[in-house]
Chain A
Amino acid sequence: MIKLAIYGKGGIGKSTVTANLSAALAMLGKRVIQIGCDPKADSTGNLLGGTPVMPVMNYLRERDDEPESIEEISKIGYGGVLCIETGGPTPGLGCAGRGIVSTFSLLEELKLFEKFKPDAVLYDVLGDVVCGGFAVPIREGYASKVLIVTSGEKMALYAANNINSAVNNFADRGYAKVRGIVLNRRNVENEEQKVRDFAEKTDLPIIADIPRSNDIIHYEDMGKTVIEGDSSLEVSKRFLALAQLLIDEDEQND
């Protein structure tokens, strides 16, 4: 099974990359779950035509009780992708990291993987690994590989370096390993070279190069991924190529 956690600086395009990758995997015939692990709960919107799923933390807050089925806290989106959002506590209150711990524990109790039997699970995680809760997706049993999304912007590369260091700190715990970098271009000066320098320094490959594209924004305004909107676009082909690479690697591991 493909088990991926996608990390990167806030606003760098993690949710865009994750949703398009989920859609691409689905288009290639895979059964996919996408779990947004950000209190903003905006990971899966473009798989759901803009009609969001109720985040798990909202459910718990409003009902004061745990759901009894996966259906109560999920929605099926484009290509049959099962969409879940952890959400978070009321802004300024509670503990968002704990929200992720609680959500993952709940999904385990509801036997999500046993029931849905996915071929791929994608975790779209908040910008930085700020506390234990945000490292849960890379623990044993969840993601086995991490993708770091970055542009050539200084702060994006800074965050990428922090994420890589955090994951490496857990090397002796059997956590997920960083598989590579997804370059999500912002068209800054010398962007490719800056990211290549970072990749070389951290000994990580750039496994996808996503061009800056107005098509992404165009289809996002319609609540869609570019894969759903027009899979023949160059940007869509990049996501499909990344999906195929991950499928091939997974099949080799089997």
Chain B
Amino acid sequence: MNQTAQILSIYAADTSGVCSALFELGGMTVIHDASGCNSTYTTHDEPRWYRGSSMMYISALTESDAVMGNDEKFISDLTEVANRLKPEFIAICASPMPAMTGVDMEAIAFDVSHRTGIPAFSVKTNGMHSYIPGAANAFEEIVRHFCEPAERRKGKVNIIGATPLDFSLKGSVESIKQWLRDNGFEVGCCLSMGCTLDDVRAMSSAEVSLVISSTGVKAAEYLKREYGVPYVKGVPIGKSFSRVLADGLRSAAAGQEASPLALRTGESIMAAVLGESIFSASMAAALALDKGISARVIETVGESDLSVLSPFDLSAPDEDVCERELAKHSLIIADPLFRPIAGKGRFVPLPHEAFSGRCFERDIPDLINRELTFLKETGL
């Protein structure tokens, strides 16, 4: 059966992706949805919810408001709360109900911005896509609204696509920043873990952007198109691929094309790496270079950046297709929730918060620019 999952979990939804992308930036994010509880989007999918505050709200849409098209209630609530809280910006996004009834979220944002004088924008969601387009649209909107022209700074690198959904609070993002410094780069805006709107404003001053998740591709493309900032996709996993990626950043900064993830070969494949495409392709590259293990990517979200996949890789968001493909591999690296369909191959759990939430958070390793020791238990 297509688009069905009997055993597997599903990835966090686009609305969760928006909340995660905008969590630290000082704005007010409001999901137009029934209920008054935002637990689905934040407490379940957002580990930072327990460590700090963020203005994340639900509109508490009622059946009557939806049927009658009572946009004014939403607009006046947004206006009242924004006038009281004075957020840096207002971001609104749609759950399935307003998406179904065709609520014009852009017009509502326009109206609220007009009434409050606070920048407001709509992030395109419908509650039925994965976190990737949600976070990607949010990153693009925030860059589009706040990035300003600035003088280029030699060696400055943006990191784009950082959310706990892909990089839990286990030190990976800090390690990426340290790895950049160790390679002589200046760390620019890390969108958006540990950055401010001022950092976003100065993103155009970077020499190059490092895109560490599919969620960052749209914003990186915008920066390239509008400000001429090139970008390189990849996560510095393992020792050798980290060096290749650092060289890629230097090449891109010098105006040359750089695609470190395209260097993989598909010879004698034994392993499969499952998950979001940029992280998984980086892991596959690291396995080849550090361990001599040839691996293919099985992209399981269905909405990752498929351009980083090689012909021997596969996008298999459907459970039965994924299960069939996994039977071909003797080593599988994936979130623990994939284990029931992993067949007889050796299974190496690598938790992914966008898939299994905080269930296995404590087991998420920091793999940045270090030996792939998490494979030791398997004897590799």
Chain A interfacial positions (CB closer than 8 Å to B): 95, 97-98, 100-101, 131-133, 135-136, 139-140, 170, 172-175
Contacts and interface: CB of A to CB of B under 8 A. Distances in A.
Contact of B107 (A97, A101, A133, A170): A170
Given A131-B69, A132-B69, A173 B107 contact: yes
A98 B110 contact: no
A173 B69 CA distance: 15
Contact of B111 (A98, A136, A172): A172
B337 to A, nearest CB: 27
Interface stretch (B98-106, B222-230, B359-367): B98-106
Give the size category of B's interface with A. 10 to 19
B132 to A, nearest CB: 15
Contacts of B106: 139-140
A184 B372 CA distance: 75
In order of increasing CB-CB distance, the 7 nearest A-B pairs are A132-B102, A173-B107, A101-B102, A133-B102, A132-B101, A98-B100, A139-B104
A158 B150 CA distance: 56
B104 A132 contact: yes
Nearest to B67: A131
Contacts, number: 39
Contacts of B107: 139-140, 170, 173-175
22 contacts: A97-B102, A100-B102, A101-B99, A101-B102, A131-B101, A131-B102, A132-B102, A132-B104, A133-B101, A135-B102, A135-B104, A136-B102, A136-B104, A139-B106, A140-B106, A170-B107, A172-B111, A172-B114, A173-B104, A173-B111, A174-B107, A174-B110
Contacts of B103: 132
A165 B236 CA distance: 58
Nearest to B98: A132
Interface string B84-113: 000000000000000111111011001100
Nearest to A170: B107
B102 A98 contact: yes
Most buried by B among A100, A131, A132, A135: A132
Contacts of A133: 101-102
A95 B104 contact: no
A135 B114 CA distance: 21
A73 B102 CA distance: 22
